[in-house]
Structure 1
Amino acid sequence: MGLRSPTPVSYLSMNDEAHDVLRADPVMAGLLDRHDPYVEPDWSEYERLCISIINQQLSTASAAAVRERVFEVLDGEVTPESVLAADDEAIRDAGLFRRKIEYVRNAARAFRENDYSRTGLASHSDGEVVDLLTEITGIGEWTARMYLLFVLERPDVLPLGDLAVRRGIEQLYADGEELTRAEMREIAEPWRPYRSVATRYIWAEYESD
């Protein structure tokens, strides 16, 4: 079996109300005009968490290459069972470091024991989700916030732990000058309650440079 091709699904960035809110910020309005709405592939919850673990501390291009090779090893079936059963050497040869192999397996065991699905976490606040996920060794706040944004599709996530988000805000709002996180939060305040959508457009602009 080859690598599964995810089916695109709609995301919050298609939300007209979100765009109306963001267009009140002239800089953000420009981003909406320059970039198409984001469409997220239809990954499973565990699969998308594995992607974030693979992405940790890697460039976008490097992470994509490693992800493709690792998913090929798994025959495109990225589940807790397939990851726990996979051959260590084959996964390492695909480019995943030993530490990250441990992380995706820690997550696999946690997913078998707990319900981290969209339904299972529906009643949890963003902070509660972060607290739950960061109990898993290898899942830090950045990875947990990626889960909030990509998997749970929470509308108001501002992941300032992400370097590209910080650099993107600095380029767009301060001509590349360094800003404190407090200053970034102040800039992002008008984007509420759709900071997740704004984050998507900041990424799109940053990666297009």
Structure 2
Amino acid sequence: YDYLTVYKSLLPGTLSADYSEYNYVAFTAKGSGLMELGLLKSSIEDWTAQYKVMVDLSEEEQTYYVPFDVFTSSATQEKLTAEDLTMLTFTFLPVEANTTELDLEISDVKFTKIANEDQIIEKIETFENEFMAYPNPSKGNVNLLLFSETDTEATVTLSDVTGKVIYKGKTQLNAGKNELEYNFKVKTGVMLLQVTSPETDYGTSKIIFR
């Protein structure tokens, strides 16, 4: 599997509830890597348009307070309103090739009105202008999770270890989180995937194709 998602319904079935009086989602966790926290609204039918935020987990157990106003939707610039929430989702993204075990604990999930200032999650900054490629190894399908500081047009290049270009294409990036999908027809072996724009080199990822 490329990722693992844990779902927590707030009420039985798909009933919605009004959490407008609260300001934060709080939980205690320990693990490693990126987690995407989602707050699902009954008024949004498109899964990709639901409100989400990335959290960089620590290997040491700690409590996280995530403000409602750092959640963003790919379909609108409007802030999250919590009058019709149905579900919480925790999606864990792979951070290491050939990893089959997930060592992660989450507990004490709740909505709160106030937070410990030292434990408030801000909109993720540490992954600006970087990207993750998964699954790795891949059978040809590659997903890119990329954070960009600016709106820009980027070039995605796939090349083999000798430098021969296998694929080269343009893509439009938005400031913030970008999710890109590719299905490469390539031979088995190690390939290098690079993303660059006139302003930024987002880096190079080594991908094993099977």
User: Which of the five TM-score ranges fits, normalised by the shorter chain?
Assistant: under 0.3
* Structure with the largest fraction of strand: 2
State the structure with more CA Rg: 2
- In the superposition, the TM-score normalised over structure 2's length comes to 0.24
* Structure with the largest fraction of helix: 1
- In the superposition, the TM-score normalised over structure 1's length comes to 0.24
